[in-house]
């Protein structure tokens, strides 16, 4: 069985090897990776990985709507998508986390034999007070997450979708467009699956699987991420509002560590080229943060992050109050 991950990256060399190792251990067999104007060595790292037969690397073409949309259009035409039994569009801060059997994808597919599309809900992992850039695995550094169920914000439970590619499928960031049989990460059929981009609020969503979403990382790292910009809307910046909606630390969740990807990760780091590029990227991120601190606007945002307490999810009553203002009169 061939399972394809489609990834778009810019300046992510610090995190790339952990992400690849985890998803290889999870059962992804192929990786189609698009890079965008990298300055931290991510593109060189991807070239080395391609030389080693690990993945297919494409430097992204010019993009009017944003680099991720350009990458998805190119992926629609790529032979790897046509050859795949399953595919998924992911970001480097999103980790597939299976809760069944050996915690690999075949266990999930076996649990949902009728499914041809499986939307998995994000589980947001908060900052948990980490200030400095850690040179340690993301999945071991950040273990505080949103509770389950959650009533608000809805962006905390957006979907990313595993799907069976078919002729003419249109890729999307959160879901493909096509004729599918939809079952979610709790095993529930979704007859309205094509219309949904986020999971149910106020109901458990992670029975079978989830997406661990490390959207924030450390405070220093968040500023570097904010300065880089968004993958699907170049002009849309990260700000304190983005941080508040995602800094959810209500529950401890180390379940992803039950799948041991360390041997794969260690082998990648042992490669002299990849190991050196990873170390260089760590230095690049620290230098980038220090450069941003010379600007008052970035210093102010850093100060606000230090001041901001962990966020709390709304109660069901508070969530109903928010929703009520968007309902038809």
Instruction: Summarize pLDDT for 294-329 with one digit per residue, the tens.
Output: 999 999 999 999 999 999 989 999 999 998 887 543
Residue 176, classed as helix, strand or coil, is coil
**pLDDT at 122 (0 to 100):** 98
Q: How many domains does the chain have?
A: 1
**pLDDT at 234 (0 to 100):** 43
**Which whole number is the average pLDDT over 75-99?**
97
Q: Helix crossing, 13-26 with 42-51: angle to 10°?
A: 40
Task: Tell me the residue range of the domain where 281 lies.
Answer: 92-258+273-324
Is 5 within a domain?
A: no
**Whether residue 153 has a cis bond before it, omega within 30° of 0:** yes
**pLDDT at 325 (0 to 100):** 85
**pLDDT at 196 (0 to 100):** 86
Tokens for 119?
Answer: 């939307």
Residue 279 class from Cβ within 10 Å (0-12 exposed, 13-18 middle, 19+ buried)? middle
Is 127 within a domain?
A: yes
Is 77 within a domain?
A: no
* Residue 123 pLDDT > 70: yes
Is 192 within a domain?
A: yes
Is 233 within a domain?
A: yes
Q: Alpha-carbon distance 235 to 191, whole Å?
A: 35
Average pLDDT, the chain: 93
Is 151 within a domain?
A: yes
Is 62 within a domain?
A: no
Q: Are 119 and 94 contacting, i.e. CB atoms less than 8 angstroms apart?
A: no
Is the Cα dihedral 47, 53, 55, 59 positive or negative? positive
Is 226 within a domain?
A: yes
How big, in percent rounded to 5, are the helix, strand and coil portions of the chain? Answer: 40, 20, 45
Q: Over the stretch 15-63, which tens digit does the pLDDT of each residue have? A: 999 999 999 999 999 999 999 999 999 999 999 999 999 999 999 866 6
């Amino acid at each position: 069985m061939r399972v394809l991950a489609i990834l778009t990256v810019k300046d992510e060399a610090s995190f790339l090897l952990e992400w690849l190792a985890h998803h290889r251990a999870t059962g992804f067999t192929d990786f189609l990776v698009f890079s965008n104007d990298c300055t931290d060595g991510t593109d060189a790292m991807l070239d080395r990985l391609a030389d080693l037969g690990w993945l297919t690397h494409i430097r992204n073409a010019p993009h009017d709507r944003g680099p991720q949309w350009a990458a998805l259009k190119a992926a629609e035409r790529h032979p790897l998508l046509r050859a795949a039994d399953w595919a998924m569009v992911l970001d480097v801060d999103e980790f597939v986390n299976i809760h069944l059997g050996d915690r690999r994808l075949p266990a999930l597919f076996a649990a949902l034999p009728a499914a041809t599309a499986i939307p998995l809900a994000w589980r947001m992992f908060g900052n948990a007070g980490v200030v400095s850039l850690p040179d340690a695995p993301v999945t071991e550094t950040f273990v505080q997450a949103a509770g389950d169920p959650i009533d608000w914000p809805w962006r905390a439970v957006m979907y990313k979708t595993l799907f069976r590619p078919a002729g003419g499928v249109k890729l999307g960031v959160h879901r493909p467009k096509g004729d599918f049989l939809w079952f979610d990460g709790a095993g529930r059929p979704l007859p309205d699956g094509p219309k949904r981009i986020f999971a149910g609020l106020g109901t458990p969503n992670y029975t079978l699987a989830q997406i661990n979403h490390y959207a924030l990382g450390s405070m220093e790292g968040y500023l570097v991420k904010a300065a880089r910009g968004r993958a699907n809307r170049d002009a849309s910046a990260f700000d304190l509002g983005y941080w508040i909606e995602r800094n959810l630390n209500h529950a401890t969740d180390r379940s992803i560590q039950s799948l041991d990807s360390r041997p794969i990760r260690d082998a990648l780091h042992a490669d002299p080229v990849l190991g050196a590029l990873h170390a260089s990227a760590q230095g690049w991120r620290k230098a980038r943060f220090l450069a941003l601190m010379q600007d008052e606007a970035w210093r102010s945002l850093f100060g606000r992050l230090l001041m901001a307490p962990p966020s709390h999810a709304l109660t069901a009553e508070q969530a109903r109050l928010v929703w009520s203002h968007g309902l038809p009169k």
